[in-house]
Amino acid sequence: MYQNRIRPRHGVGLTLLCLALLAAPVWATCGGGGGGGRGGAGQAYKTNWMTSWKKTLSDAELKEQGVLLYFQPRSSSEHRFFKTKWPNDVSKERFFYKVRGTSEEAEKMRAQYRVEGKKHHVFICDWHGNVFKSFATTDRAKFRSGALKGPLYGIQRSVKRLRKKIAQNTAKAEKALERKSYPTAIKALKSAQEYTGYPEVEQSKKLWQQLEKEGLSQLEAALQLENPERRKKLNALKRTFKRTGVEKAAAKALAKENGKREASVPAERAHDDATMKAPSLAERICAELFVDDGSTTIAELVDAAVQEGLRHENAARYEDALRAYERAVRLDPKDPVPLVYLGELHRHHMGRWDDAERAFRRVLELDGQDHAVAVALHGIGKMTIWRGDNEAGLKLLAGSIERSPTALCYRNLAVYWNTEGDAGKAFAYATKAYELEPRDSYNQVFYSVYLLLNGRGEQAQRLMAAAEFDPSMSYNYACYHAVRGDRDQVLAYLKRHFYEYEKYAAVRSFEMAEARMDSFFARWLEDPEFKQVTKLAGKTPWLREG
C-alpha cells in the first residue's frame, strides 16, 4: 500500500517484485492495499439523468419519446434500481429525469405530481409531462423493468389513443351542451382537464370554460331568488355541475346562507384524495395496451447474475462467483459490466492474469460504458506495471482517470508514488481517492494510513473508528499498525490477510513477496515470526526468489 522500495535481506529482490508493489485492486489489498475485485469499485451501472426538466421534455418532444420521471425521497438515497442494468441501458436512448432535494423547483414538481412521503415514485410520461403509468415503492422493494418497458417504449401508441379518446369525448360534450345536458358534458370533458400539450385538450378546455360560464350565469340568477327557492336552486346547481367551479361557488353561497365556514372544503379534499387513487384516462389506456405479464427481461437476468456473483465474491466463494459472472456475460455479450466483474475476479482474487486481460480487452472493444472502461484500463495498467513496464502502465492509469475518475485508480497511484518515494504525490492521490468516496470504509482505512504518515494522527484515528471492518482491509490494518510500531497487530492482520482472506496460492505467495518488499515492515524482516508468516514469498508464476 505504501511501499518504498527496499531490498529484502532474504533474496526476493527482483526488480519485477518491486514493480509488483505498485498497485492493487478495489476491495482487497493486493500490492499494498490499493484494493480490487468486486467489479473494480462496486456496481458499475449508472443511470444517465437529464439535468433540466424543461430540456428533458423539449428533447423528448423532438423525438416523440417517453420520459421516465423519478422522485427521490427527501431523506433517502437513490433507489438501487437505478444502479442496475436496465436503467443504465435505457437511459442512453430514452429520457430520464430525477427530482431530489428540497429546492423550490423540486417542491413545486412534488406538488404538481402529488408526491409525498418516504416512498420512491416513478412516472412514465409523454413529452408534455402527462402521466401514463405510475409506480411507488420503498427502499427495500423493487421496481420491475418489465412493467416499465412497455409504457416507456410504447408512449406514441398511448398518446395516439389518448388524443383520439379526448377528441371523441369533446365531440360528445359539444352535443351534450347543445342539449343543455350538463352532467353528460362534464363527464365527457373532465378527463381531458388532466392533460396538457395536445390540440384536442385545448378544444376541450374551451368547451369546459363555456360550460362553467353557463353554470355561473345560472348561479347569478339563482342568487337573485328569494328563499326557499334560492336554496333549492343552489342545491340543484351543486348536483348538476358536480366536479366543476360552479359546484364550489354554489357550496360557498350555501355556506354563507347558513352562516357557516365553507363546509365544502373538507369534502373537496376527500374527493381529491379519491381522484388521486383512481386511474386516469391515460393510465387506463396504457393498461389496455401494455399488460405486464410478469416476464423477466434479459437486463433483469443479467443484473441478477451479477448480483449473485457479487454475493459469492463477498463470501469468498470465488468459483461460484466465476460461474455467475460468466453466465451474465453469456446472457448479454455486449454488456461491459459483467466483463469487468469477471476480469477483476480473475486478476485480483484468482491470479489468472491472462483471463483477466482478455475480459478487460473486450470491455475496451465494446467501449460503451465510461466506468467499465476506466476499471478495465486500470486493471491492464496494473498488470503492465507488475510485468515491468512502468511507463506504459502509468499511461493506462492516466487514461483510466481521464475516462472516469475512480477511488480505485487514485489509491493505486498513491501506492505507486509512495513506492517511488514521492510522499507528496502519494498523499495527494490518497486524498483524491478519499474525497471521491469519503463514506466508503475501504477508502477511510486506506486514507488513515497516509494521514498517520503525515502527522495527522487524530484524524486518522477518527476515520479508523468510523470504518466498518472487512477482511479485505487486513493488509491495510497491518500497515496502519506498522506505522504505530505495534508488531503483534501487524503479524495478526498479515496472518488474517494471507491465510483467511486470500484463497489462491498464486495470489497469496505473490502478496507475501510484496510484504517482504514493503518498507512498512522493514523492521521485522529478520523476525522469525514475520518470516514464517511470509514463507511462501516468491512462489508464483510471475515472481521467483533470487
Domain that holds residue 232: 159-289
Peptide bond connecting 73 to the previous residue in cis, omega within 30 degrees of 0: no
pLDDT exceeds 50 at position 342: yes
Q: CA 199 to CA 164: how far, in whole Å? A: 11
Check residues 101 and 277 and name the one with the higher pLDDT.
Answer: 101
Whichever domain contains 362, its CATH number is 1.25.40.10
Q: Which of 289, 321, 342 is the last residue of a domain?
A: 289
Query: Which of the 8 DSSP states describes residue 296?
Result: P
Q: Are residue 234 and residue 332 in the same domain, yes or no?
A: no
Average pLDDT, rounded, for the chain: 86
Residue 460 contacts residue 454 (beta carbons within 8 Å): no
Enter the C-alpha cell of residue 149: 418497458
Cell of 477: 490494518
* Position 262 pLDDT exceeds 70: no
Does 463 lie in the same domain as 501?
yes
User: What pLDDT is recorded for position 539?
Assistant: 58
Could you give the count of Cα atoms lying within 13 Å of 291 in the half-sphere of its Cβ? 2
Q: Are 66 and 126 in contact (CB under 8 A)?
A: yes
Residues of the chain with pLDDT > 90, as a percent, come to 66
Within this chain, do residues 66 and 125 fall inside the same structural domain, yes or no? Answer: yes
CB 128 within 8 A of CB 61: yes
Among the listed residues 294, 282, 293, the one whose alpha carbon sits nearest the alpha carbon of residue 157:
282
Q: Are 73 and 120 in contact (CB under 8 A)?
A: yes
> What pLDDT does 21 receive?
31
**Whether pLDDT at 446 is above 60:** yes
Residue 542 lies in a domain: no
**For residue 464, pLDDT beyond 70:** yes
**Residue 57 half-sphere exposure toward CB, CA atoms < 13 A:** 12
Give a yes or no: residue 371 inside a domain.
yes
Mean pLDDT of the region 60-69:
97
Q: Are residues 71 and 39 in the same domain?
A: no
Give, for 96, the enclosing helix (H) or strand (E): strand 95-99
Q: Are residues 40 and 111 in the same domain?
A: no
Give the H or E element holding residue 87.
helix 85-90
> The dihedral of CA 79, 81, 83, 86: what is its sign?
negative
The CA-to-CA distance between both ends of the chain, in Å, stands at 23
Residue 27 has pLDDT above 50, yes or no: no
Read off the pLDDT of residues 399-444 as tens digits, 9 standing for 90 and up.
Answer: 999 999 999 999 999 988 987 889 899 999 999 999 999 988 999 9
CATH of residue 95's domain is: 3.40.30.10
351 occurs within a structural domain? yes
Task: Compare 301 and 32 and report the one with higher pLDDT.
Answer: 301
Q: Locate cell 455479450: which residue?
A: 333
Regarding whether 285 and 303 lie in a shared domain, the answer is no
Decide if pLDDT at 33 tops 70. Answer: no
Do 173 and 60 have their domain in common?
no
**Same domain for 516 and 425?**
yes
Q: How many domains are contained in the chain?
A: 3
Task: Answer yes or no: do 213 and 188 share one domain.
Answer: yes
Largest CA distance in the chain: 114
Each residue's pLDDT tens digit, 116-169: 889 999 999 999 999 999 999 999 898 989 899 999 999 999 999 999 999 999
* Residues 6 or more apart in contact with residue 47 via CB below 8 angstroms: 82, 83, 87, 88, 91, 96, 98
Q: Which helix (H) or strand (E) holds 173?
A: helix 155-178
Q: Is residue 326 assigned to a domain? A: yes
Same structural domain for residues 239 and 105?
no
Tell me the average pLDDT across 286-291: 89
pTM for the full predicted model: 0.73
381 and 233 in one domain?
no
When pLDDT is averaged across residues 286-309 and rounded to a whole number, the result is 88
Output the pLDDT for position 218.
95
| pLDDT (tens digit per residue) in 361-387 | 999 999 988 889 999 999 999 999 888
Same domain, 520 and 404: yes
**pLDDT tens for each residue of 106-129:** 999 999 999 988 999 999 999 999
Domain end call among 114, 142, 170: 142
State the DSSP string of 12-72: ---HHHHHGGG---BSS-HHHH--B-GGGTS-------BS-HHHHHHHHHHHT--EEEEE-
Whole-number Å distance between alpha carbons of 527 and 538:
18
